[in-house]
Amino acid sequence: MTLKKPIIFETTFTTYTATEIIGEGGSGKIYKVTDESGKIWAVKLLDSAKATKEKVRRFKNELMFCLKNQHPNIVTVIDHGVFKDSSKSSPFYVTPLYFGSLRSLTNSGISPDKVLPYFSKIMDGVEAAHLKKVVHRDIKPENILYDKDKDNLLIADFGIAQFEEDDLYTAVETKNSARLANFQYAAPEQRGRDQEVDQRADIYALGLIMNELFTGEVPYGTGYKTISSVAPDYKYLDDLVAEMLRQSPNDRLPNIEQVKQQLIGHKNNFVTRQRISELENTVIPVTEIDDPLIVDPPRLINFDWNNGTLTLIFQRNINQLWRWAFLNMGSHSSLAGKGPEQFSLSGDKATIAAEENQVQPIINFFKNWIPNINQVYKLKVQQEKEDSENEQRKLLELQTKGQQARQRILTNVKI
Protein backbone atom coordinates (compact mmCIF):
# COMPACT_ATOMS: atom_id res chain seq x y z
CA MET A 1 0.00 0.00 0.00
CA THR A 2 1.47 3.32 -1.09
CA LEU A 3 1.73 5.94 1.63
CA LYS A 4 0.12 9.33 1.10
CA LYS A 5 3.07 10.94 2.83
CA PRO A 6 6.61 9.51 3.19
CA ILE A 7 7.68 8.37 6.66
CA ILE A 8 11.23 9.05 7.84
CA PHE A 9 13.08 6.53 10.02
CA GLU A 10 16.35 7.77 11.51
CA THR A 11 19.12 5.78 13.15
CA THR A 12 22.44 7.02 14.47
CA PHE A 13 24.10 7.16 11.05
CA THR A 14 21.40 6.64 8.42
CA THR A 15 18.04 8.03 7.35
CA TYR A 16 15.50 5.73 5.70
CA THR A 17 12.49 7.00 3.75
CA ALA A 18 9.37 4.82 3.56
CA THR A 19 6.86 5.23 0.75
CA GLU A 20 5.04 1.91 0.92
CA ILE A 21 3.64 -0.57 3.47
CA ILE A 22 4.44 -4.10 2.32
CA GLY A 23 3.24 -6.08 5.32
CA GLU A 24 1.09 -5.76 8.41
CA GLY A 25 0.47 -8.01 11.40
CA GLY A 26 -0.98 -7.98 14.86
CA SER A 27 1.98 -6.12 16.33
CA GLY A 28 3.15 -3.74 13.66
CA LYS A 29 3.92 -2.91 10.04
CA ILE A 30 6.69 -3.57 7.54
CA TYR A 31 7.74 -0.76 5.21
CA LYS A 32 9.73 -0.64 2.01
CA VAL A 33 12.36 2.05 2.52
CA THR A 34 15.36 3.59 0.78
CA ASP A 35 18.49 4.97 2.40
CA GLU A 36 20.42 8.10 1.35
CA SER A 37 22.31 6.17 -1.33
CA GLY A 38 19.08 4.88 -2.87
CA LYS A 39 19.48 1.30 -1.68
CA ILE A 40 16.24 -0.48 -0.82
CA TRP A 41 15.63 -2.06 2.60
CA ALA A 42 12.76 -3.21 4.79
CA VAL A 43 11.81 -1.60 8.11
CA LYS A 44 9.80 -3.44 10.72
CA LEU A 45 8.04 -1.07 13.14
CA LEU A 46 6.33 -2.09 16.36
CA ASP A 47 2.87 -0.50 16.58
CA SER A 48 2.96 1.93 19.52
CA ALA A 49 -0.77 1.42 20.14
CA LYS A 50 -0.20 -2.29 20.67
CA ALA A 51 3.22 -2.11 22.29
CA THR A 52 2.63 -3.85 25.61
CA LYS A 53 5.65 -4.47 27.81
CA GLU A 54 5.63 -8.11 26.72
CA LYS A 55 5.57 -7.22 23.03
CA VAL A 56 8.37 -4.70 23.47
CA ARG A 57 10.42 -7.35 25.28
CA ARG A 58 9.83 -9.85 22.49
CA PHE A 59 10.64 -7.26 19.85
CA LYS A 60 13.91 -6.48 21.62
CA ASN A 61 14.79 -10.18 21.84
CA GLU A 62 14.04 -10.63 18.14
CA LEU A 63 16.09 -7.57 17.23
CA MET A 64 19.12 -8.61 19.27
CA PHE A 65 19.02 -12.20 18.01
CA CYS A 66 18.84 -11.17 14.35
CA LEU A 67 21.37 -8.35 14.85
CA LYS A 68 23.99 -10.87 15.96
CA ASN A 69 22.98 -13.41 13.34
CA GLN A 70 25.51 -14.59 10.78
CA HIS A 71 23.58 -17.58 9.47
CA PRO A 72 22.66 -17.63 5.76
CA ASN A 73 19.15 -18.95 6.48
CA ILE A 74 18.12 -16.39 9.10
CA VAL A 75 17.22 -12.79 8.29
CA THR A 76 19.86 -10.37 9.55
CA VAL A 77 19.11 -7.00 11.17
CA ILE A 78 21.54 -4.38 9.84
CA ASP A 79 20.31 -1.29 11.70
CA HIS A 80 17.75 -0.19 14.28
CA GLY A 81 16.34 2.85 16.02
CA VAL A 82 13.30 4.47 17.64
CA PHE A 83 10.56 6.12 15.58
CA LYS A 84 8.94 9.14 17.22
CA ASP A 85 5.49 10.32 16.18
CA SER A 86 3.97 13.15 18.23
CA SER A 87 4.16 11.96 21.84
CA LYS A 88 4.61 8.29 20.99
CA SER A 89 7.75 6.35 20.18
CA SER A 90 8.24 2.80 18.91
CA PRO A 91 11.29 0.65 18.15
CA PHE A 92 12.06 -0.44 14.61
CA TYR A 93 14.76 -2.37 12.83
CA VAL A 94 16.11 -2.59 9.28
CA THR A 95 16.70 -5.75 7.25
CA PRO A 96 17.41 -6.59 3.61
CA LEU A 97 14.23 -6.49 1.54
CA TYR A 98 13.05 -9.79 0.08
CA PHE A 99 10.26 -9.68 -2.48
CA GLY A 100 9.01 -13.22 -1.97
CA SER A 101 8.26 -15.84 0.65
CA LEU A 102 7.83 -19.60 0.78
CA ARG A 103 4.13 -18.92 0.27
CA SER A 104 4.70 -17.11 -3.01
CA LEU A 105 7.18 -19.80 -4.03
CA THR A 106 4.67 -22.59 -3.40
CA ASN A 107 1.93 -20.65 -5.18
CA SER A 108 4.19 -20.59 -8.23
CA GLY A 109 4.73 -24.33 -7.91
CA ILE A 110 7.75 -26.32 -6.70
CA SER A 111 8.68 -29.53 -8.50
CA PRO A 112 9.05 -32.57 -6.19
CA ASP A 113 12.79 -32.85 -6.84
CA LYS A 114 13.32 -29.31 -5.51
CA VAL A 115 11.20 -29.61 -2.36
CA LEU A 116 13.76 -31.26 -0.09
CA PRO A 117 16.66 -28.97 -1.10
CA TYR A 118 14.44 -26.01 -0.19
CA PHE A 119 13.24 -27.73 2.97
CA SER A 120 16.87 -28.35 3.96
CA LYS A 121 17.50 -24.59 3.91
CA ILE A 122 14.47 -24.06 6.14
CA MET A 123 15.71 -26.71 8.57
CA ASP A 124 19.15 -25.10 8.69
CA GLY A 125 17.70 -21.75 9.70
CA VAL A 126 15.38 -23.16 12.35
CA GLU A 127 18.05 -25.50 13.70
CA ALA A 128 20.52 -22.61 13.94
CA ALA A 129 18.03 -20.80 16.15
CA HIS A 130 17.51 -23.93 18.27
CA LEU A 131 21.24 -24.37 18.74
CA LYS A 132 21.31 -20.79 20.04
CA LYS A 133 18.46 -21.66 22.46
CA VAL A 134 15.83 -19.73 20.49
CA VAL A 135 12.44 -21.27 19.66
CA HIS A 136 10.58 -19.60 16.82
CA ARG A 137 7.00 -20.66 17.74
CA ASP A 138 5.45 -19.23 14.57
CA ILE A 139 6.97 -21.06 11.62
CA LYS A 140 4.76 -20.78 8.55
CA PRO A 141 5.35 -20.09 4.84
CA GLU A 142 4.70 -16.37 5.28
CA ASN A 143 7.52 -16.14 7.83
CA ILE A 144 10.03 -17.85 5.54
CA LEU A 145 11.37 -15.28 3.08
CA TYR A 146 12.67 -16.06 -0.40
CA ASP A 147 15.80 -14.49 -1.85
CA LYS A 148 15.31 -14.93 -5.59
CA ASP A 149 18.81 -13.73 -6.49
CA LYS A 150 20.43 -16.46 -4.39
CA ASP A 151 17.56 -18.98 -4.61
CA ASN A 152 17.69 -19.06 -0.83
CA LEU A 153 15.15 -19.23 2.02
CA LEU A 154 15.50 -17.31 5.29
CA ILE A 155 13.62 -17.57 8.57
CA ALA A 156 12.08 -14.29 9.74
CA ASP A 157 9.79 -12.96 12.48
CA PHE A 158 11.29 -14.43 15.62
CA GLY A 159 9.09 -14.14 18.65
CA ILE A 160 6.55 -11.46 17.88
CA ALA A 161 5.49 -10.67 14.31
CA GLN A 162 1.95 -11.78 13.43
CA PHE A 163 1.90 -14.13 16.41
CA GLU A 164 0.70 -13.46 19.91
CA GLU A 165 -0.04 -16.45 22.13
CA ASP A 166 -2.97 -14.75 23.84
CA ASP A 167 -4.57 -14.23 20.43
CA LEU A 168 -4.27 -17.95 19.75
CA TYR A 169 -5.65 -18.95 23.15
CA THR A 170 -8.63 -16.63 22.66
CA ALA A 171 -9.27 -17.95 19.17
CA VAL A 172 -9.25 -21.54 20.45
CA GLU A 173 -11.44 -20.80 23.44
CA THR A 174 -14.02 -18.86 21.40
CA LYS A 175 -13.82 -21.27 18.45
CA ASN A 176 -13.23 -18.32 16.16
CA SER A 177 -12.44 -20.15 12.91
CA ALA A 178 -11.42 -17.01 11.04
CA ARG A 179 -8.81 -16.16 13.65
CA LEU A 180 -7.71 -19.77 14.02
CA ALA A 181 -6.81 -19.78 10.33
CA ASN A 182 -3.90 -17.51 11.25
CA PHE A 183 -2.53 -20.24 13.50
CA GLN A 184 -2.91 -23.33 11.33
CA TYR A 185 0.76 -24.22 11.81
CA ALA A 186 0.59 -24.10 15.62
CA ALA A 187 1.33 -27.32 17.49
CA PRO A 188 -1.34 -28.84 19.77
CA GLU A 189 0.49 -27.70 22.91
CA GLN A 190 0.34 -24.10 21.65
CA ARG A 191 -3.45 -24.16 21.60
CA GLY A 192 -3.94 -24.49 25.35
CA ARG A 193 -2.86 -22.34 28.24
CA ASP A 194 -0.11 -23.27 30.69
CA GLN A 195 1.46 -25.91 28.44
CA GLU A 196 5.19 -26.09 27.84
CA VAL A 197 6.19 -24.97 24.36
CA ASP A 198 9.71 -25.76 23.17
CA GLN A 199 11.56 -26.60 19.96
CA ARG A 200 9.28 -29.58 19.38
CA ALA A 201 6.53 -27.10 18.45
CA ASP A 202 8.78 -25.94 15.61
CA ILE A 203 9.29 -29.59 14.60
CA TYR A 204 5.51 -29.93 14.33
CA ALA A 205 5.25 -26.86 12.09
CA LEU A 206 8.07 -28.14 9.90
CA GLY A 207 6.25 -31.46 9.50
CA LEU A 208 3.16 -29.61 8.29
CA ILE A 209 5.23 -27.57 5.86
CA MET A 210 7.13 -30.55 4.47
CA ASN A 211 3.89 -32.35 3.66
CA GLU A 212 2.33 -29.18 2.23
CA LEU A 213 5.28 -28.51 -0.08
CA PHE A 214 4.59 -31.82 -1.83
CA THR A 215 0.79 -32.05 -1.61
CA GLY A 216 -0.32 -28.42 -1.60
CA GLU A 217 -2.38 -29.06 1.53
CA VAL A 218 -1.72 -28.60 5.24
CA PRO A 219 -2.20 -32.05 6.83
CA TYR A 220 -4.80 -32.35 9.59
CA GLY A 221 -6.25 -35.35 11.38
CA THR A 222 -5.55 -38.88 10.19
CA GLY A 223 -6.89 -38.79 6.64
CA TYR A 224 -4.70 -36.08 5.17
CA LYS A 225 -3.21 -36.26 1.69
CA THR A 226 0.14 -38.05 1.93
CA ILE A 227 3.33 -37.31 0.07
CA SER A 228 3.31 -40.79 -1.48
CA SER A 229 -0.08 -40.09 -3.07
CA VAL A 230 1.39 -37.31 -5.21
CA ALA A 231 5.12 -38.18 -5.32
CA PRO A 232 5.59 -41.98 -4.98
CA ASP A 233 9.39 -41.69 -5.12
CA TYR A 234 9.24 -39.88 -1.77
CA LYS A 235 7.01 -42.39 -0.01
CA TYR A 236 9.59 -42.74 2.77
CA LEU A 237 8.77 -39.19 3.89
CA ASP A 238 5.28 -40.16 5.03
CA ASP A 239 6.63 -41.93 8.12
CA LEU A 240 8.96 -39.02 8.85
CA VAL A 241 6.09 -36.52 8.63
CA ALA A 242 4.01 -38.72 10.94
CA GLU A 243 6.82 -38.69 13.52
CA MET A 244 7.02 -34.91 13.31
CA LEU A 245 3.25 -34.52 13.74
CA ARG A 246 2.68 -36.60 16.86
CA GLN A 247 0.04 -34.92 19.00
CA SER A 248 2.10 -35.19 22.16
CA PRO A 249 5.46 -33.40 21.99
CA ASN A 250 6.93 -36.27 24.01
CA ASP A 251 6.19 -38.64 21.11
CA ARG A 252 7.52 -36.27 18.45
CA LEU A 253 11.03 -36.20 17.02
CA PRO A 254 12.88 -34.09 19.60
CA ASN A 255 15.20 -32.08 17.36
CA ILE A 256 16.04 -31.22 13.78
CA GLU A 257 19.23 -33.27 13.89
CA GLN A 258 17.10 -36.41 14.02
CA VAL A 259 14.99 -35.20 11.09
CA LYS A 260 18.18 -34.60 9.14
CA GLN A 261 19.55 -38.02 10.05
CA GLN A 262 16.54 -39.70 8.47
CA LEU A 263 16.89 -37.62 5.31
CA ILE A 264 20.62 -38.33 5.12
CA GLY A 265 19.87 -42.03 5.57
CA HIS A 266 17.94 -41.84 2.29
CA LYS A 267 20.97 -40.35 0.53
CA ASN A 268 19.85 -36.72 0.46
CA ASN A 269 23.44 -35.52 0.29
CA PHE A 270 22.51 -31.82 0.21
CA VAL A 271 21.31 -32.01 3.83
CA THR A 272 23.89 -30.31 6.07
CA ARG A 273 24.49 -31.18 9.70
CA GLN A 274 25.38 -28.21 11.93
CA ARG A 275 27.09 -27.37 15.21
CA ILE A 276 28.12 -24.41 17.35
CA SER A 277 31.54 -23.02 16.48
CA GLU A 278 33.95 -23.29 19.39
CA LEU A 279 35.60 -20.00 18.44
CA GLU A 280 32.82 -17.58 17.58
CA ASN A 281 29.72 -19.20 19.11
CA THR A 282 28.03 -19.16 15.71
CA VAL A 283 26.25 -22.03 13.95
CA ILE A 284 28.32 -23.64 11.20
CA PRO A 285 28.31 -26.88 9.15
CA VAL A 286 29.93 -29.75 11.03
CA THR A 287 32.68 -29.95 8.40
CA GLU A 288 33.59 -26.25 8.57
CA ILE A 289 37.01 -25.59 10.06
CA ASP A 290 37.10 -23.47 13.20
CA ASP A 291 40.29 -24.88 14.69
CA PRO A 292 42.22 -22.15 16.56
CA LEU A 293 45.51 -23.47 15.15
CA ILE A 294 44.16 -22.87 11.64
CA VAL A 295 42.49 -19.54 12.33
CA ASP A 296 45.66 -18.28 14.03
CA PRO A 297 48.46 -20.68 12.98
CA PRO A 298 51.46 -21.19 15.28
CA ARG A 299 54.37 -18.82 14.72
CA LEU A 300 57.57 -18.00 16.58
CA ILE A 301 57.44 -14.92 18.78
CA ASN A 302 60.50 -15.39 21.01
CA PHE A 303 63.37 -17.67 22.03
CA ASP A 304 65.74 -18.37 24.89
CA TRP A 305 69.11 -20.10 25.15
CA ASN A 306 70.50 -21.38 28.43
CA ASN A 307 73.19 -23.94 29.24
CA GLY A 308 73.18 -25.44 25.76
CA THR A 309 69.38 -25.64 25.38
CA LEU A 310 67.56 -23.56 22.78
CA THR A 311 63.89 -22.84 23.53
CA LEU A 312 61.66 -21.55 20.75
CA ILE A 313 58.41 -19.94 21.87
CA PHE A 314 55.12 -19.89 19.90
CA GLN A 315 52.33 -17.36 20.33
CA ARG A 316 49.97 -20.19 21.40
CA ASN A 317 49.96 -23.76 22.65
CA ILE A 318 50.15 -26.52 20.07
CA ASN A 319 48.36 -29.88 20.17
CA GLN A 320 49.16 -33.51 19.44
CA LEU A 321 48.06 -33.30 15.80
CA TRP A 322 50.33 -30.31 15.19
CA ARG A 323 53.18 -32.36 16.65
CA TRP A 324 52.31 -35.08 14.12
CA ALA A 325 52.38 -32.50 11.31
CA PHE A 326 55.74 -31.28 12.63
CA LEU A 327 57.21 -34.74 12.11
CA ASN A 328 55.42 -35.28 8.80
CA MET A 329 55.92 -31.95 7.05
CA GLY A 330 57.49 -33.52 3.99
CA SER A 331 60.59 -32.28 2.20
CA HIS A 332 62.70 -29.86 4.25
CA SER A 333 66.25 -28.76 4.99
CA SER A 334 67.91 -28.62 8.40
CA LEU A 335 71.19 -28.18 10.19
CA ALA A 336 72.99 -31.52 10.45
CA GLY A 337 71.67 -33.45 13.45
CA LYS A 338 69.09 -30.76 14.24
CA GLY A 339 66.06 -31.96 12.29
CA PRO A 340 62.45 -32.11 13.53
CA GLU A 341 62.93 -35.44 15.27
CA GLN A 342 65.50 -33.86 17.61
CA PHE A 343 63.04 -31.32 19.00
CA SER A 344 60.86 -31.71 22.06
CA LEU A 345 57.48 -29.95 21.76
CA SER A 346 55.24 -29.10 24.70
CA GLY A 347 52.68 -26.36 25.26
CA ASP A 348 53.90 -23.24 23.49
CA LYS A 349 57.57 -24.28 23.35
CA ALA A 350 59.96 -26.31 21.20
CA THR A 351 63.34 -27.19 22.73
CA ILE A 352 66.55 -28.68 21.35
CA ALA A 353 70.19 -29.02 22.40
CA ALA A 354 72.26 -26.40 20.58
CA GLU A 355 75.74 -24.91 20.66
CA GLU A 356 76.08 -21.15 20.64
CA ASN A 357 77.07 -21.04 16.98
CA GLN A 358 74.08 -23.24 16.01
CA VAL A 359 71.33 -21.05 17.46
CA GLN A 360 70.77 -18.71 14.51
CA PRO A 361 70.86 -21.42 11.80
CA ILE A 362 68.42 -23.59 13.79
CA ILE A 363 66.00 -20.67 14.18
CA ASN A 364 66.26 -19.86 10.46
CA PHE A 365 65.50 -23.43 9.42
CA PHE A 366 62.66 -23.71 11.94
CA LYS A 367 61.01 -20.54 10.64
CA ASN A 368 61.15 -21.99 7.12
CA TRP A 369 59.44 -25.19 8.33
CA ILE A 370 56.46 -23.52 9.98
CA PRO A 371 54.40 -22.66 6.84
CA ASN A 372 54.69 -26.27 5.63
CA ILE A 373 53.79 -27.65 9.06
CA ASN A 374 50.73 -25.41 9.29
CA GLN A 375 49.59 -26.44 5.82
CA VAL A 376 50.01 -30.15 6.60
CA TYR A 377 48.08 -29.62 9.83
CA LYS A 378 45.24 -27.81 8.05
CA LEU A 379 44.89 -30.53 5.41
CA LYS A 380 44.93 -33.23 8.09
CA VAL A 381 42.20 -31.50 10.13
CA GLN A 382 40.05 -31.02 7.02
CA GLN A 383 40.49 -34.64 5.99
CA GLU A 384 39.64 -35.96 9.45
CA LYS A 385 36.46 -33.86 9.59
CA GLU A 386 35.36 -34.96 6.13
CA ASP A 387 36.15 -38.61 6.88
CA SER A 388 34.21 -38.45 10.14
CA GLU A 389 31.16 -36.90 8.46
CA ASN A 390 31.27 -39.38 5.57
CA GLU A 391 31.48 -42.24 8.04
CA GLN A 392 28.46 -40.90 9.94
CA ARG A 393 26.48 -40.56 6.72
CA LYS A 394 27.32 -44.07 5.55
CA LEU A 395 26.26 -45.43 8.94
CA LEU A 396 22.92 -43.62 8.66
CA GLU A 397 22.43 -45.02 5.16
CA LEU A 398 23.16 -48.56 6.39
CA GLN A 399 20.74 -48.16 9.29
CA THR A 400 18.04 -46.93 6.92
CA LYS A 401 18.68 -49.80 4.51
CA GLY A 402 18.36 -52.28 7.37
CA GLN A 403 15.12 -50.70 8.58
CA GLN A 404 13.67 -50.84 5.07
CA ALA A 405 14.59 -54.52 4.71
CA ARG A 406 12.99 -55.34 8.05
CA GLN A 407 9.82 -53.47 7.10
CA ARG A 408 9.58 -55.34 3.78
CA ILE A 409 9.87 -58.69 5.54
CA LEU A 410 7.31 -57.78 8.21
CA THR A 411 4.92 -56.60 5.49
CA ASN A 412 5.33 -59.40 2.94
CA VAL A 413 6.08 -62.56 4.92
CA LYS A 414 3.01 -64.44 6.16
CA ILE A 415 2.70 -66.96 8.97
Counting beta carbons within 10 angstroms of the beta carbon of residue 268, is it exposed (0 to 12), middle (13 to 18) or buried (19 or more)?
middle
pLDDT of residue 281: 86
CA pair distance 30, 93, nearest whole angstrom: 10
pLDDT of residue 32: 96
Of all helices (H) and strands (E), which one includes residue 313?
strand 309-314
pLDDT of residue 166: 53
Interaxial angle between packed helices 199-215 and 256-265, expressed in degrees from 0 to 180 and rounded to the nearest 10: 40
What is the amino acid identity at position 382?
Q
List CB contacts of 10: < 8 A, sequence separation 6 or more.
16, 81
Residue pLDDT tens, the chain, 415 long? 888 899 999 999 999 999 999 988 767 899 999 999 999 999 999 988 777 787 788 888 888 889 988 899 999 999 999 998 877 889 999 999 999 999 999 999 999 999 999 999 999 999 999 999 888 988 999 999 999 999 999 999 886 433 345 555 555 555 555 444 567 899 998 887 778 889 999 999 999 999 999 999 999 888 899 999 999 999 999 999 999 999 999 999 999 999 999 999 999 999 999 999 988 889 999 999 999 999 999 999 999 999 999 999 999 999 999 999 999 999 999 999 999 999 999 999 999 999 999 999 999 999 999 999 999 999 999 999 999 999 999 999 999 999 999 989 998 999 8
29 phi and psi angles, rounded to 5 deg: -125, 160
pLDDT of residue 162: 33
268 phi and psi angles, rounded to 5 deg: -85, 85
The secondary structure of 68-128 as a DSSP string is H---TTB----EEEEEEETTEEEEEEEE---SEEHHHHHHH---HHHHHHHHHHHHHHHHH
- Residue 404's alpha-carbon distances to 259, 267, 278, 390, in angstroms, are 17, 14, 37, 21
pLDDT of residue 279: 85
- Give the global pTM: 0.86
> In the 8-state DSSP scheme, what is residue 300?
E
What is the amino acid identity at position 298?
P
The tally of CA atoms less than 13 A away on the side-chain side of residue 146 is 17
What is the amino acid identity at position 405?
A
